[in-house]
Amino acid sequence: MSNTSNKYAFGMIGLGTMGRSLLLNMADHGYAVAGHDKDAAKVASLNEEGKDKDVKGFGDAKEFVQSLTTPRAIMMLVPAGKIVDSVIAELTPLLDKGDILIDGGNSHFTDTNRRVDELEAIGLHFFGMGVSGGEEGARRGPSMMPGGDKDAYNVMKPIFEAIAAKVDGAPCVTYIGPGASGHFVKMVHNGIEYGLMQLIAESYEIMKTGLKMDNDAIGAVFTKWNDGRLKSFLIDITKDIFAFKAPGTDHLLLDDIKDEAKAKGTGKWTSQVAMDLQAPIPTIDSAVSMRDLSKYKALRVQASDLYSKDAPVLKVDTDAFLTALEQAFYFTMIISYAQGMHMLERASEEFKYDLKLGEIAKIWRGGCIIRSAFLNDIFNAYEKNSKLEHLLLDEHVHDLVSETVQGARTVLSATIAAGIAAPAFTASLSYFDNFRTKRMPSNLTQAQRDYFGAHTYELIGKEGVFHTQWVEKI
């Protein structure tokens, strides 16, 4: 096939919101791009939105592939799982050795490992790339986490750096590492996101249920927070949600939304893999659990009738308590990020990813869902010490934690006494208090394990493994 007959430098399979927005972003930066989707409406949508750009949508896969310059570069943005495998199976007979295939969806990293091996065996370059930022990020500048075939990434690097979000002039994309590291880092990013969203939800609950604040007052608090050190994408959109009324109504749309949270699985995967790595992330775990608990609405209604006779109320000075709540949020936000970064450190060692945690923090500062002012502090911590084993061991982070931890204690003392649930706040503080403990009570756990299962134990200051007959056999 002659190169001269081909027109488009990049192809996208999956023209949903994200795929279409990324293509239009590329076209804005001077790249000729093509898209393919089996849904004719999505193809038409791309052609309409891109009518003044060098963009073309195709309904036919073969025609789409033939429209691309060689070696071809094609990205898939389709739902994770079997759909990715079916797209690959349909596509590979149409490709030539040396072509590049990119999975930009939220695939489980073990699936990416398998696909890397399978496609490498038939001469195709493949890498997985996490993409964060939602529709707006994809259109105006996302954060991207590519990992795998480094040569293939280097071919794509100019395009990705052009379309990425920029912070201080630096693009929010970098080569993450080998294998499935790109998808792994995106998974942990999403886990941190779960934790932060749960902390925001709990802050809302504390203000609404405990302090009896109305929506305008709660919205004003989130607006104030976003103007200070808590400035972040998630707080920013939260203040907007507290200002949005559905057309034709006189109340917030928020009040009409069911309290049943859904999920696509990345938070659950983060918790599962963290347990495999023995990397404790209880803030994230509690966020996953609370989304699950929210689905049991009928049970919660029954339990409410049975147990909740008195409405909880916080008997506190509201202004002083809101100051403590801001401190508590800042403290628990740090803990959520710290747990995620520690999980990445453990994964880097376990899977030989050689992750540059400073670079990861750097590309999360713009474009992505968990971007926040605090990510500059994380970036600086790992820039100062690339071997930092845990974010909480950084001197500056130590100072920030020390300044705010009392706020968490104040808030939780009051909410627990009043019967207001704050599981992610609680998990964060308990994690911190155990993390800073020189001697945990785990020696008792080991003694119990040896008692009932002869699992043995180790002794302080003495080499070897020991077992005791704890009671005399009759």
Residue 426's contacts (CB-CB under 8 Å, 6 or more residues apart) are 286, 412, 416
State which of 80-89, 118-127, 278-287 shows the largest mean pLDDT.
Answer: 278-287
Binding-site sequence positions: 106, 132-134, 189-190, 194, 264, 291, 449, 455
The CATH class, in words, for 10-175 is alpha beta
Question: Which DSSP state fits 247?
Answer: T
Question: For domain 441-473, which CATH number applies: 3.30.70.260, 1.20.1560.10, 1.20.5.320, 3.90.1150.10?
Answer: 1.20.5.320
pLDDT value at position 6?
A: 52
Q: What is the mean pLDDT of residues 211-232?
A: 97
Which residue of the set 56, 186, 239, 268 is catalytic?
186
The predicted-structure confidence for 227-261, as pLDDT tens digits, reads as follows: 999 999 999 999 999 999 988 999 999 999 999 88
Question: What gap in Å lies between CA 367 and CA 164, rounded to an integer?
Answer: 7
> Rounded distance, CA 197 to CA 300, Å?
21
Task: Identify the architecture of domain 188-436 in CATH.
Answer: Orthogonal Bundle (1.10)
Cis before 71? omega within 30: yes
CB-neighbour burial class of residue 109 (10 A; exposed 0-12, middle 13-18, buried 19+): buried
Q: What pTM value is reported for the model?
A: 0.92
The average confidence (pLDDT) of the chain is: 93
Cis, peptide link before residue 312, omega less than 30° from 0: no
Q: Where are the domains of the chain?
A: 10-175, 188-436, 441-473
Torsion angle of the four alpha carbons 98, 104, 107, 113, in this order, in degrees rounded to the nearest 10: 30
Q: Which of 56, 157, 166, 193 is catalytic?
A: 193
Task: For 411-469, write each residue's pLDDT tens digit.
Answer: 999 999 999 999 999 999 999 999 999 999 999 999 999 999 999 999 999 999 999 99
Q: Which residue has the tokens 């495998």?
A: 85
Q: What pLDDT does residue 2 have?
A: 31
Can you tell me the distance from the alpha carbon of 434 to that of 441, in angstroms, rounded to the nearest whole number? 10
In angstroms, the CA 42 to CA 312 distance is: 49
Taking the C-alpha atoms of residue 45 and residue 311, their distance in angstroms, rounded to an integer, is 50
Place of tokens 């040569």: 151
pLDDT in tens, 360-417: 999 999 999 999 999 999 999 999 999 999 999 999 999 999 999 999 999 999 999 9
Instruction: Say whether 205 is catalytic.
Output: no
The yes-or-no answer on residue 208 being catalytic is: no
β-bridge mates for residue 127, sequence order = 102, 148
Annotated binding site for substrate: 106, 132-134, 189-190, 194, 264, 291, 449, 455
In the three-class reduction of DSSP (H, G, I as helix; E, B as strand; rest coil), residue 252 is classed as: strand
CA distance 467 to 385: 41
